[in-house]
Every structure is written in structure tokens, then in C-alpha cells.
Structure 1
């Protein structure tokens, strides 16, 4: 997830600008999906988790801090989504 979005785009996204969200989505979707797939080893489930992650980003767009590292923020929530998925799967598989 080494993409970089400029601060103006992140601020627009934070303020609910749908075009800015599309820019963020296009810039980060593929790398985020690949990152999650690396954890859970299921491309279809990684795709679903990534889509859910971006839906939640849009829902919570006003809470994004544009002054902080968006890459680190996205990395953290993607990792947490993958870990939560694996925990849930482990509980149901045992």
C-alpha cells in the first residue's frame, strides 16, 4: 500500500466529496485487496473485505484525519479486517 494521495484530495474526501472518494478507491483498492489476500489466502473473501473496508471508509469519512498518514491508517484497518476475518473463521471451523 505504497500509493500516495495528496492532502487536498484527502481533505475533500473527509468533507464528503464523492469524486475524491473515487480517487482514493482507485488508488488503493488493488493494493489493499492484495494485502488482505496475503493474510487470508482467499481472493474472493479478500475482495469482499476490501469492498466492506471502503464502504466503511465512506460512511466514516468525516472521522479521517487528513493530517496523519493515510497509508498507515489504511494499512492498519486492512490488517485488522484480515485478522478479524481469520479469528471469526477459526471460531467457526473449530
Structure 2
């Protein structure tokens, strides 16, 4: 069993080894816990990264008076609920868009192509705004389809570091698309793929 308070103290000072020890101790349990909510291994892996990213981001303000494990599971639960609600909202919007499109049989294919081109350009703008490491991680894993291990080896970094880069890249891209894109355009394109 780890000494939580000592690790949390080290973590608050930005100690990456303490963070890695916490991840090692709780990562698998958080994954299994979240998998019960999502039933989707890939989504669950992303959520686990979101949970630990949040811990890293708030490390200086962590003030856990009881069990850090319980605190971490509460963060995991809230993260899962937020994400599942967001997915549900997107599904609702997608269904509504598909319904509207099906009512209008004259909706030109050219419009689909134009919207897809606009989305691809917006996505590329978001990718271009990433730091070089995050951009490379995103391109290797999400666009070229490399495994985490292969991408990490190609970048000459650890799998854990690659995951950090990828989580931060995906978060930045989502924020950029939501800030600069038309949500109905984005949802329409998701529905058409």
C-alpha cells in the first residue's frame, strides 16, 4: 500500500514520479470502475486519462482530508457522468439532424461535400495550433492509426508521455472545434460518417 499523504505532498510540488506512482496504484481500478459506466474500452481509456489529467492540473490545490482513493473515484464518477451526458446530447442532436435531412430529399450532395471540406479545414487549423509533440502524437495515433507503443517508439518517448500528449491534444482540438465551429455542422458530419 502506498503512503498517500507523502505522495500527495510530492505531487503538489509537481513530482512526476509521485504522479506516476498514483497512476500506477489507481489507474487499473479507475479503468474498471469507469468501464461499468461506459461499456466502451476506448472511451473508458480516454476518461481515465481525463481523470488523471484533472488530478495533475489541480495538484497544487489538492486537500484530501480522508481517502484519496475515494476522492479519485468521485472525480472519475463525475467525469463519466459529464461525458456520457455530452454523448447523449450529441446523439440527440445527430438524430434530429438526420431526421431533418431525411425529410428533405432534395438536400444536395454538394452541400455535404462542402460542409465536409469546411470541417476538415477547421480540424486541420486545430491540429496546426497544437504544440509539435502533441501534434505528432495526435497524427500518429488518431490519423495514421499507430498503436500507443508504436507511436511512442517513433517519437522516442514513453507510452505514458505519449498518452499525456494525446489527451491534451484531443482536449485542445475539441475546445477549438467547439469555439470556432458550427455545432450543427460538426454533428452533421459525425452523423454522416
Query: TM-score category by the smaller chain?
Result: 0.7 to 0.9
Instruction: Give the aligned partner of residue 90 of structure 1.
Output: 88
Instruction: Give the aligned partner of residue 2 of structure 2.
Output: 5
Q: What stretches of structure 2 of length at least 5 have no aligned partner?
A: 93-193
Q: What is the CA distance between 1:78 and its match in structure 2?
A: 0.2
Q: Who wins on radius of gyration, i.e. which is larger?
A: 2
CA distance in 2, matches of 1:44, 1:16: 28
Aligned residues: 91
Instruction: Give the aligned partner of residue 81 of structure 1.
Output: 79
Q: What is the CA distance between 1:15 and its match in structure 2?
A: 2.1
Q: What stretches of structure 1 of length at least 5 have no aligned partner?
A: none
CA distance in 1, matches of 2:64, 2:9: 6
Is this contact kept in 2: 1:14–1:66, CA < 8 A? no
CA distance in 2, matches of 1:65, 1:14: 10
Give the aligned CA root-mean-square deviation in angstroms: 1.3
Cα deviation code 1:2-56 (max 9, x no counterpart): xx53121121112221111110011111111111111011010000111121112
Instruction: Give the aligned partner of residue 18 of structure 2.
Output: 20
Is this contact kept in 2: 1:29–1:50, CA < 8 A? yes
Instruction: Give the aligned partner of residue 39 of structure 2.
Output: 41
TM-score by length of 1: 0.87
Is this contact kept in 1: 2:50–2:79, CA < 8 A? no
Pick aligned residue for 1:56 from 44, 54, 57: 54
Structure number with the bigger relative contact order (C-alpha 8 A, sep ≥ 6) is: 1
